[in-house]
A and B are shown apart, each in its own frame.
Chain A
Amino acid sequence: MLNISVLKYCLKFAWNDMSTRKTRAALTILGISVGISALIALMSIMGGMRYQIEDRLNRYFGVGVRLGGKGEMEVPDYLAESFKMMNMVSDAYPTISGSGLLGGQNVFILGIPAGKLDDYLSTVQFISGGKLNETDKGYILVSNGLMSKGDLKIDDRVEVYAFSSGKKDYFTIKGVFDPGLSFGNIGLVVMKFKEAQKLFDAEGYASEIVIKLASNDQIDPFINYLKKLLPDAKITTSKEILSKINEILDIINVTLLTIASISLIVAALSVMNTIMTVVRDRIREIGILKAIGATRSHILSIFLGEVLILSFLGGIFGIIGGSIASRLMSDAFGRLTNIYITPLISVDYILAGLSVSISVGLLSGFYPSWKGANIRPIEALRYE
């Protein structure tokens, strides 16, 4: 019954009606687009955040596995050398870490073989002085926050105390770096692995062994192998941490989307209101159409056609608005907190935005359209 040329007329009716009542149409489109904007902005910021966290974690871990013991320092350090000899392992090195004091300040002490700091903490940036090399003895690197708090200078000789062993020793500051990550208020001290072992009184042991694998798909087989070899060891990979973080992000996501749906409900009510007014304004037209033999489905198509145009345009503007809003929000957020999140706009979000706006439009427009299509012809014609 509904052939193409009739559908064309239905859309034409809808379009003509909208162009004769521009303000009303514009306000409805605005209503829908605000809801969709909120949705798109939240989705893209959350998406950007997830991506960034993943990216950082991956950079932090590399294609690797970290092997630790149950306690603080109980992994034999020779394991690093043994792992290195395996084919699938591209590199392996031990680290040892614990807390202590430097000149009376609480610090976190990291012992690491020369040249591995960049790999271990990818966020580190050197500010001044030199890095630690193979032959250095009695030297440390100090984080910039601690330098200014302790009023320290390069080449100062300072006392470092380790809590776990109760031992202390003197070191010379060779360089200053920015850790890039916040360790709370605690400063970070980096020294050679062997010297840290001595300070912590843990010769022959490491806190962690960092194992780099040649490729990503070797992670799972390697972990299985490790689990068999060392059942008590604590094995951490970026994947695992990511899934934990994603769980938390999901909770935040749901909360934010709930808030966005409230704005969508407002948009839906506005569509409903508009279509009700459209129906009321066009009752006479319905009567004429019925007199010339239009069926209920013809009339339904006219109103739903209008809903379709309104919600499609609302969706498009919402997607554009949402992308702009997320850019502005992340800029403002970045300026305030120094954390820059690049919002992620993907085809998925655009499709989601459009389908949400169209289904909200159709759902809320259906009832008033149905009522309009069911008005009895003489009632419709008598209406002035």
Chain B
Amino acid sequence: MSSDIAIELINVKKIYRLTEEITVEAIKGISLKVHRGDFISIMGPSGSGKTTLLNLIGTMDKPSSGRIIIEGLDVTDLPESQLAHVRREKIGFVFQAYNLLTTLTALENVMLPMLLTGKYSESEAEERALKLLSLVGLEERAHHRPIQLSGGQQQRVAIARALANDPSFILMDEPTGAIDTITGSKLMALVKLLNETYGQTFIVVTHDPSVAMVAKKKYFIRDGLLYEGSEKSLHNFNASFSDSEINRILQAQLKLLLTDLKALKRRRTEGKISEKQYENLKSELKRKLNLLERSMRIEI
């Protein structure tokens, strides 16, 4: 927690080798710094390297050259077992095709990443998962299977799942690609709200300008190279939420933070974390609470 840089790319390249002679240079040298609390979009046409870049940031694939640093940790050469740990603790994924586990309910899908960390008891995980689902407005659908949910609802479950372990940043690959425009803009409004009121870092790649516009910082990608866009963003985008809806989301966030505080205290009393870790995590929660309080004052 020494710096506020969530992720840093240093001259990252990715070359796919199809045969001995034929290679595709999908990423041609990208450097990027993403600060905590950022909400950035990367827009580009099909085949420009968006998914490739996101996979590199998400440690799902290794770059051909360059370094990738997540919260100060150079993950470029880490073995798969440690990468799994990084993904579990630091990264949330939201895919175009939702990618929920079809055999589990919405609640279980959100619980699973928490259980994998071993930090939460099953009942704590369930409590947090319910709060996260209410945050995305799906509390009543907790026990539904993915096939019983609409595309937009599934994507909201996916967002709740990405939030589950309170990651350093959330990567979204074409999150509205499979849903209609209105549902899509509602989804992006939710993302924007989570960023503003909760300080959650988001990196969204898309070819859809209306999705990219929501972000605070906009980049463009073309033929494997990244270009910075203008600082302007659509400020009253969350108009598609009513006041009561915003209130509900803020309340849900507040409850979630309080649950987290409770779980944190339990882990300290059980001796699972050191006093120093506890203080760090507590001040992080405090920061979020303050942020939330400020936005509650503004919104209400």
Q: How long is the Cα–Cα vector from A17 to B95 in the complex, in angstroms? A: 23
- Interface residue A172 (Cβ < 8 Å from any Cβ of B): no
Extra contacts, 7 of them, besides A16-B103, A291-B60 (Cβ < 8 A), are A3-B118, A5-B122, A292-B161, A293-B87, A293-B165, A376-B61, A377-B61
Partner of B80, one of A288, A296, A298: A296
Closest to B113 in A: A292
**A6 CB to closest chain B CB, in angstroms?**
5
A292: chain B residues at CB < 8 Å are 87-88, 93, 112-113, 116, 161
Residues of A contacting B: mostly: helix
- Interface residue B46 (Cβ < 8 Å from any Cβ of A): no
Partner of B87, one of A5, A291, A296, A378: A291
Q: How long is the Cα–Cα vector from A376 to B83 in the complex, in angstroms? A: 12
Docked-complex contact B101 and A285, CB < 8 angstroms:
yes
Docked-complex contact A6 and B115, CB < 8 angstroms:
yes
Q: Which residues of chain B from 42 to 81 have any CB-CB distance to chain A below 8 Å in the complex?
A: 55, 58, 60-61, 80-81
Q: How long is the Cα–Cα vector from A17 to B101 in the complex, in angstroms? A: 11
Given A5-B122, A16-B103, A20-B103, answer yes or no on A293-B61 (Cβ-Cβ < 8 Å).
no
Chain A residues within 8 Å of chain B by Cβ, number: 27
Docked-complex contact B85 and A293, CB < 8 angstroms:
yes
B100: chain A residues at CB < 8 Å are 288
A contact residues vs B (CB 8 Å cutoff): 1, 3, 5-6, 9, 12-13, 16-17, 20, 284-285, 287-296, 298, 376-378, 381
- Interface residue B196 (Cβ < 8 Å from any Cβ of A): no
Docked-complex contact A381 and B60, CB < 8 angstroms:
yes
Given A20-B103, A290-B60, answer yes or no on A9-B81 (Cβ-Cβ < 8 Å).
no
Those 7 A-B pairs whose CB atoms lie nearest each other, nearest first: A293-B88, A16-B103, A293-B87, A295-B84, A377-B60, A5-B122, A292-B113
- Interface residue B99 (Cβ < 8 Å from any Cβ of A): yes
- Interface residue B89 (Cβ < 8 Å from any Cβ of A): yes
Q: How long is the Cα–Cα vector from A291 to B112 in the complex, in angstroms? A: 12
B113: chain A residues at CB < 8 Å are 292-293
B108: chain A residues at CB < 8 Å are 9
Docked-complex contact A295 and B103, CB < 8 angstroms:
no
Q: How long is the Cα–Cα vector from A376 to B58 in the complex, in angstroms? A: 13
Given A1-B118, A9-B115, A378-B60, answer yes or no on A293-B84 (Cβ-Cβ < 8 Å).
yes
Closest to A293 in B: B88
Q: How long is the Cα–Cα vector from A12 to B105 in the complex, in angstroms? A: 12
Closest to A6 in B: B115
B81: chain A residues at CB < 8 Å are 295-296
Q: How long is the Cα–Cα vector from A12 to B104 in the complex, in angstroms? A: 9
Q: How long is the Cα–Cα vector from A202 to B104 in the complex, in angstroms? A: 91
Docked-complex contact A3 and B112, CB < 8 angstroms:
no
Docked-complex contact B101 and A5, CB < 8 angstroms:
no
Closest to A295 in B: B84
Partner of B116, one of A13, A20, A298: A298
Docked-complex contact A13 and B60, CB < 8 angstroms:
no
Given A1-B118, A291-B60, A378-B60, answer yes or no on A13-B103 (Cβ-Cβ < 8 Å).
yes
B86: chain A residues at CB < 8 Å are 293
A288: chain B residues at CB < 8 Å are 99-101
Q: How long is the Cα–Cα vector from A289 to B112 in the complex, in angstroms? A: 9
Q: How long is the Cα–Cα vector from A381 to B93 in the complex, in angstroms? A: 12
Q: How long is the Cα–Cα vector from A298 to B88 in the complex, in angstroms? A: 12
Partner of A9, one of B60, B80, B91, B112: B112
Closest to A3 in B: B118
Docked-complex contact A290 and B87, CB < 8 angstroms:
yes
Q: Interface centre among B60, B117, B121, B161, by most A CB within 10 Å? A: B60
Q: How long is the Cα–Cα vector from A348 to B91 in the complex, in angstroms? A: 51
Given A377-B60, A378-B55, answer yes or no on A290-B84 (Cβ-Cβ < 8 Å).
yes
**A125 CB to closest chain B CB, in angstroms?**
67
CB-CB contacts of B139-177 with A at 8 A, as 1s and 0s?
000000000000000000000010001000000000000
Sample 22 A-B pairs with CB under 8 A, ordered by A number: A1-B118, A6-B116, A13-B101, A16-B104, A285-B101, A289-B101, A291-B95, A292-B93, A292-B113, A293-B84, A293-B85, A293-B86, A293-B116, A293-B117, A294-B88, A295-B84, A296-B80, A296-B81, A376-B61, A377-B61, A381-B95, A381-B99
